[in-house]
Amino acid sequence: MREKKHADKQNDQMVFGMRPVMEAIKAGKEIDSILVQKGLKGENLNELMDLIHERKLHLKRVPSDRLNRMTRKTHQGVICFISPISYARLEDVLPTIYESGKDPLILLLDGITDVRNFGAIVRTAECAGVDAIVIPESGGARVTSDAIKTSAGALNIVAVCRTKEIVDAIRMVKDSGLNVVACTEHGKNNIYKSDFNQPVAVILGSEETGISKACLDLADQVVGIPIKGQIKSLNVSVAAGVVLYEAIRQRAIS
């Protein structure tokens, strides 16, 4: 029952059927992801796959029962999710920020899958003047109507960039002169002793697994928020607020 209710809420963003999905791609819709049934074959599928590869869209092969749980209508083994927002390109956003005379403040989200946490983070980021938020194509929360609602509409304002891997975005921002700060409860350095009054990219990780080792290895600093109570970690959306407003504080007094 829960899965069916969830599926119904997604219907406004879901296109199913071989030909409708191809038409959505050709029409230039902002595609979030495409699910294709494992073992599916046929000429129409070959045409669809050509389009997917040509547009470099995110594809996932899934069992038929997963597709059946999403809709009771005839999906022909293909379901496509249309993003309710338009994504920005990080390589386009960074030069624009520098040209405006501002030190960039970028937020990189590594493996944050909870939609409400994601929405809350985006809301705080927009209020804090974050220039762009980077999310992975897979392994993170999707931009859905629930995410937009939780963000109080901030997802329609702040630039959201997608990358195949977060590590790719980290390398790009480092090459663009940003100092990469990983914020984690395991950080030995205090965020209040870190310098945010410069071009900065902040990495936040999921509450379950934290920031991946690959991302931590690329960070210029690994910092933590002081915890005085017995519970040793903050909700990630709260942690986002703490670190981003520390950046605001430092920039305001410089």
Assess contact for 109 and 135: CB atoms under 8 A: yes
The Cα–Cα gap between 164 and 166 comes to 7
User: Which H helix or E strand runs over 79?
Assistant: strand 78-82
Tally of CB atoms within 10 A around 226: 8
Assess contact for 143 and 9: CB atoms under 8 A: no
The Cα–Cα gap between 98 and 204 comes to 23
- Strand 179-183 to 105-110 pairing: unpaired
The Cα–Cα gap between 134 and 160 comes to 6
- According to the model, what pLDDT value does residue 30 have? 87
Assess contact for 97 and 104: CB atoms under 8 A: yes
The Cα–Cα gap between 117 and 211 comes to 15
Partners of 205 in the β-ladder: 110
Q: What is the mean pLDDT of the chain?
A: 91
Note the maximum CA span of the chain. 63
- Who wins on pLDDT, 58 or 247? 247
What would the pLDDT profile of 45-79 be if each residue is shown by its tens digit?
Answer: 999 999 999 988 889 999 999 999 988 888 999 99
Tally of CB atoms within 10 A around 88: 18
Which is nearest to 134 in space by CA: 101, 157, 167, 177? 167
What would the pLDDT profile of 162-179 be if each residue is shown by its tens digit?
Answer: 998 999 999 999 999 999
What would the pLDDT profile of 119-156 be if each residue is shown by its tens digit?
Answer: 999 999 999 999 999 999 888 888 988 899 999 999 99
- According to the model, what pLDDT value does residue 12 have? 53
Tally of CB atoms within 10 A around 100: 9
Buried b (16+ CB within 10 A) or exposed e, 11-44: eebbbbbbeebbebbeeeeebbbbbbbeebeeeb
Report pTM. 0.84
Confidence of residue 13 (pLDDT cuts 50, 70, 90): confident
**What domains, with CATH codes, occur in the chain?**
2-82 (3.30.1330.30), 90-253 (3.40.1280.10)
- According to the model, what pLDDT value does residue 40 have? 92
- Strand 200-205 to 179-183 pairing: parallel
Confidence of residue 4 (pLDDT cuts 50, 70, 90): very low
